[in-house]
Structure 1
Amino acid sequence: MATSQILVIDAGTTTVRCYVHDSVVGIVASASSPWAYAQEPDAPEFARSFDVEAVWRGISDSIAECVTGRNIAAVSVTSQRQALAFLDNQGNEIYVGPNMDLRSVFEGAALDEDDGPRIYTQTGHIPTFMLAAGKLRWFQLHRPEAYARIANVLTLADWLAWKLTGELARERTLAAESGLLNIWSRGPLADLYQHLGLHHDTPMLVTASDIIGETSTESAALSGLDMGTPVVAAGADTQAGLIGLGVVRASDVGLIAGWSAPVQMVTSQPMLAPMGETWTGLHPIENRWVLESTTGDMGNSYRWLRAMLVGPGSDGYSQLDELSDSVPVGSEGARSYLGPGRMDMSNLGMRQGGMLFPVPMTVTGFGKAHLVRSTLEGFAFAVRANLEQIERLTDEHPDQLSVGGGMARSAAFLKILRDVIGRPIRVAADPRSTAQGGALAARIALGEYQNFDESSEFVREQLDTIQSDPLNSAEYDDFYEEWIETADSLSGLMA
């Protein structure tokens, strides 16, 4: 196979990252651009939308930084889930916003009160304030003139592909994550949106590894890409991460531990939780789905802890690993509750959290190291809780867990996780599994692989297996039950 290089654009939660992925050595260049946000005086305090011009300028500059002097065979685009773009019939942006845009909390709650079961049954997702229907209702009620101009609803990666190519398309995994696709038919949801009295358009549907179009004269001039470079759909960032870990077979399970940390199992049919606790989405491979139970904030919480304890610096996370390794299993009684927990999308709300440890301090001598290890143990307990929730719903018990994402850089976390779940974990040498999955989507489009099943065989050969320690796992069983009980008690304090 000849050497080729793919540009992967990964529009994540904190930044847009661009990677050049070489078919032989992996990622050889990267650049990033932070999100720029617009001012919206008429929107709620917790609303968020992007400054479109600043964002596109930053992305173009990052692309140029990566591709200068390189022969890029294709561009692959993936993004955060539930981030949306509304365009008018001339292709002008009315709204582009992240998944953290909470403007439609009340409008979404009203939709759920009237039609929640119907929405969940057809989309596999709830609550609706996170989905396209909630955002559309907000615009319908609060900006009716702007709402009347909406001609196309795209996901964030779809919008980036449109900026690169001028082609309007909707990628299926991302559309499903935004409540824009029927999870059973993998097709449009026109009937549901008509019932809700909301705009619904039907642009071309594409699947991860499909070529959407080619870079236009304008985007090539801004980014330094060659005009006519193929632009490929890579799908939702989490699902791209699964592809990057070779998680493609029914009952395979993966953890993409980034800003949040979703646990996803591949299933052969959509699976809904009795009360809507979990999500069901599409796997990039046709006739496969994913059942998701996410921990919530993980990487974000660890970033906060790093800033509190060691400050900025490229070696900050290695310092945290060293601190964690200096404390025994169980953190000598310290327990951390910094956000990650068992998913229950039917009952979202603020929870009490924090850190607990034995006192008096003059006796216990707790310090930074205990805070770090107890935090990593808390993260691992949350992963186990979500994995067990998926196992209860599916009656499947996978014998290993594949792990990618930024938290997989932490050797201490990986060691704790393997022992907490009591089974082997599989990791890649480079934890940037979403970039790997995005590159594989492009390589399939170029004919280097036939499909994701074939590419997964290559990926799985590259993974390392980390075996659990039975003695540590036995200790963690008791600590886990204690952690769950205390987490439930803390949640009750906010009731």
Structure 2
Amino acid sequence: MGTSEASADRWSRLHVPFPPEGETIGGGASVGGAVGHAAWIAADRGPVQRRGRSALRRARRGGRAVAKFVWSGRAARGPTRGEADVPTDRILTLDLGGSGLKAGLFAPDGTLQATASVPMAFDEPREGISEQDPAVWWAGARQALSEIAAAAGPDFDRVSGIAICGFTRTQVLLDAEGCVVRPAIGFRDARAGAEVAAALARPEFAAHPAARPFNVFHPLARLLWVAAHEPEVWSKVAWVVEPKDHLNFRLTGRVASDAVSQHWMAMATAGGSDSLAALAGIRPPALPPLFAPHAIVGRVRPSDDPVMARLAGVPVFCGANDSWAAAAGLGALAPGRAYGISGSSEVFGLIADHAAEAEGLLTLPWGDGLWQIGGPGLNGANALAWIVDRLDRSDLPFEAKLAGLLAGPRHAAPLLFLPYLVGERTPFWDGDLRAAFLGLGAGHGPADLVRAVMEGVAFHARLVLERAEAAVGRRASEVRLGGGGAASSVWNQIRADGIGREIVAMPQRQTGLAGCFAVAQVGLGLAPDLAAAIDGAGLAFERFRPDPAAARRADRLHAIFRESQGFVADVSRRLAAIDRDPSASG
């Protein structure tokens, strides 16, 4: 059995299938943990018509508690809260991103009636360390909801459902009561290098199908680090959840997650004594019940807070990670479509109707028979912000500084930029990798540097896409692009030329919120599927086609970009070795 088949087989054995049209099915396996304790599935399912039975089966296997939950039923059909004279037809959405939290209130036709944004920052005291206190997320959520309530007025009382998405590859560790035991380990964190090396040195571990890929960004690697370096903290850990799961918990009191976001953790804990976690010598925390993104996990609890009290009883849908939600919001969840989310970091992938493996790419089941081949990066708009802010130290808005720099004179000589300022995840998974300008000459000026950075980000996306296309066996019909970077028409054209594909961009920044809107629409029974929810929302897209001459030039430059990866990676590792031990010789 190949890697793809093994992955699909584990998935089918571990998870309840994604629901057929109009149904929600939730289930999950919970193995081990510091206590023999498991989360409860939402007892108040409101209008859900139960067709199956809820079951809890516990057994002792090798000294670990095993709990399994399964329930199924019809999705909520329409409003479930409020007095008869107050219609409930608004959808409240939140998108927890790497640089802040956004919230939006949608009208039934998909119009964003009110929005709010709360900036946030990770605590990154030194290279390779990235953490954030989940209390910051909850405070930001409450602030955003207060702003939405003020802007929406009486319409805030018409909320019929809430859906949240959030960044992934970030571990939130909870005790048995759902309390956070340490700051969340962020998606840029690379501290677990020694633990990864030690685990991969064990032949049985390295040969395990779930160990491909296994690196410092894998959830199990972070757990190994906590167990080794913070044993007192580790002894309290009962659950490991995603960032948006923590917000769902704060709203509902229910510990739950989604099968899309927890794929790698589920794969690492599947198989009991033969699991990847067991081979690493660790007893992992419990995996919470896993639901489809549009399943209801609970309802907003009563609260003394006047804003939260207005939401009491509203169903909260499970949601998923921000990449999945953004792809859903872009209408990209169809075979043959590629998607890109251009935020502070970029996510890029190809949607296929079958599993396919490509070196360095993540193959993930995304529900409804779809697979994502691609993955998250570490560099995107952050690289552009870096170069713009260093070339223009003025107090002008970023957009004005960017336009001014791009308007400067350009040199004819080509210039390449490898955009790995903070290492890279897909497809290299190398925390030591660093950026480089190639071909820099005395004639190059600010405009050349800025365009090279924008082009370098596009070339990296092309690198990911071409690997995915080769694995799937088909060329992407188009690239659906969203996020803050998609608001730049100049960058969108650079992407079209550099990637050699038509770019279909959503210039609005709320792709994650749009995906959450689609999730709630499906969960409430107002749309048959996610694509239909987006198609009916009337969202605006702009198309950018490759310029033939610019695309031919980009083909030549990208070939050099691709060939230079090995050399730059080798230099980066040697420099990192000096940084870690400056006194060493050789």
TM-score (norm 2): 0.73
Counterparts in 2 of 1:223 and 1:260: CA distance versus 1, 3 Å: same
What is the deviation of 1:125?
A: 4.1
Residues 356-377 of structure 1 deviation map (CA, whole Å, 9 limit, x = unaligned): 4554x3xx3x322122112111
Cα distance between partner residues in 1 of 2:483 and 2:288: 31
Counterparts in 2 of 1:445 and 1:371: CA distance versus 1, 3 Å: same
SS in 1 for 2:378: strand
1:323/1:373 contact within 8 Å kept: no
Are 1:101 and 2:189 an aligned pair?
yes
Counterparts in 2 of 1:459 and 1:376: CA distance versus 1, 3 Å: farther
The equivalent position to 2:168 in structure 1, one of 81, 84, 88, is: 81
Cα distance between partner residues in 2 of 1:38 and 1:339: 20
The equivalent position to 1:415 in structure 2, one of 488, 493, 517, is: 493
2:554 counterpart letter in structure 1: Y
SS in 1 for 2:372: strand
SS in 2 for 1:297: coil
1:253 counterpart letter in structure 2: A
Matches within 5 A, 1:259-338: 259-273=344-358, 276-283=359-366, 285-311=367-393, 315-321=397-403, 323-324=405-406, 332-338=413-419
Are 1:49 and 2:137 an aligned pair?
no
Cα distance between partner residues in 1 of 2:278 and 2:310: 41
Residues 372-404 of structure 1 deviation map (CA, whole Å, 9 limit, x = unaligned): 112111122212111111122222211321111
1:33 counterpart letter in structure 2: V
2:483 maps to 405
1:246/1:459 contact within 8 Å kept: no
2:454 counterpart letter in structure 1: L
Structure 1 alignment gaps of length 5 or more: none
CA-based RMSD of the aligned residues comes to: 3.2
Cα distance between partner residues in 2 of 1:342 and 1:261: 10
Q: Which deviates the most, 233-242 or 473-482? A: 473-482
SS in 2 for 1:418: helix
Bigger Rg over Cα: 2
SS in 1 for 2:227: helix
SS in 2 for 1:333: coil
1:7/1:21 contact within 8 Å kept: yes
Cα distance between partner residues in 2 of 1:382 and 1:88: 40
Counterparts in 2 of 1:233 and 1:310: CA distance versus 1, 3 Å: farther
1:152 maps to 239
1:215/1:228 contact within 8 Å kept: yes
1:422/1:473 contact within 8 Å kept: yes
Cα distance between partner residues in 1 of 2:97 and 2:413: 36
Are 1:481 and 2:559 an aligned pair?
yes
Residues 410-445 of structure 1 deviation map (CA, whole Å, 9 limit, x = unaligned): 111101111122221111242421111111111111
The equivalent position to 1:164 in structure 2, one of 251, 257, 262, is: 251
Cα distance between partner residues in 1 of 2:336 and 2:361: 16
Cα distance between partner residues in 1 of 2:536 and 2:404: 33
2:70 maps to none
Cα distance between partner residues in 1 of 2:304 and 2:480: 37
Are 1:430 and 2:508 an aligned pair?
yes
What is the deviation of 1:169?
A: 0.7
Counterparts in 2 of 1:477 and 1:182: CA distance versus 1, 3 Å: same
The equivalent position to 1:255 in structure 2, one of 327, 336, 340, is: 340
Counterparts in 2 of 1:448 and 1:322: CA distance versus 1, 3 Å: farther
The equivalent position to 1:374 in structure 2, one of 415, 436, 452, is: 452
Matches within 5 A, 1:185-200: 190=272, 192=275, 193-196=277-280, 197-200=282-285
2:571 maps to 493
Cα distance between partner residues in 2 of 1:324 and 1:219: 52
The equivalent position to 2:261 in structure 1, one of 171, 174, 188, is: 174
Task: State percent identity of aligned pairs.
Answer: 20
What is the deviation of 1:254?
A: 0.7
Cα distance between partner residues in 2 of 1:303 and 1:282: 33
Matches within 5 A, 1:455-466: 455-458=533-536, 462-466=540-544
Cα distance between partner residues in 1 of 2:239 and 2:377: 32
Cα distance between partner residues in 2 of 1:384 and 1:252: 14
Cα distance between partner residues in 2 of 1:354 and 1:39: 23
Q: Which deviates the most, 448-457 or 397-406? A: 448-457
What is the deviation of 1:58?
A: 3.0
1:201 maps to 286
The equivalent position to 1:65 in structure 2, one of 147, 160, 164, is: 147
What is the deviation of 1:141?
A: 2.0
2:200 maps to 112
Counterparts in 2 of 1:54 and 1:454: CA distance versus 1, 3 Å: closer
1:353 counterpart letter in structure 2: A
Cα distance between partner residues in 1 of 2:236 and 2:570: 45
Cα distance between partner residues in 1 of 2:221 and 2:321: 20
What is the deviation of 1:23?
A: 3.6
SS in 2 for 1:465: strand
Counterparts in 2 of 1:385 and 1:322: CA distance versus 1, 3 Å: farther
SS in 2 for 1:350: coil
Cα distance between partner residues in 2 of 1:327 and 1:118: 54
Cα distance between partner residues in 1 of 2:346 and 2:314: 33
1:228 maps to 313
Are 1:139 and 2:220 an aligned pair?
no
TM-score (norm 1): 0.86
Cα distance between partner residues in 1 of 2:297 and 2:212: 26
1:17 maps to 102
Cα distance between partner residues in 1 of 2:249 and 2:376: 30
SS in 1 for 2:197: helix
Counterparts in 2 of 1:298 and 1:180: CA distance versus 1, 3 Å: same
Structure 2 alignment gaps of length 5 or more: 1-77, 79-86, 575-586
Cα distance between partner residues in 2 of 1:180 and 1:391: 26
Cα distance between partner residues in 1 of 2:400 and 2:108: 29
2:487/2:507 contact within 8 Å kept: no
1:35/1:50 contact within 8 Å kept: no
Counterparts in 2 of 1:493 and 1:427: CA distance versus 1, 3 Å: same
What is the deviation of 1:488?
A: 3.9
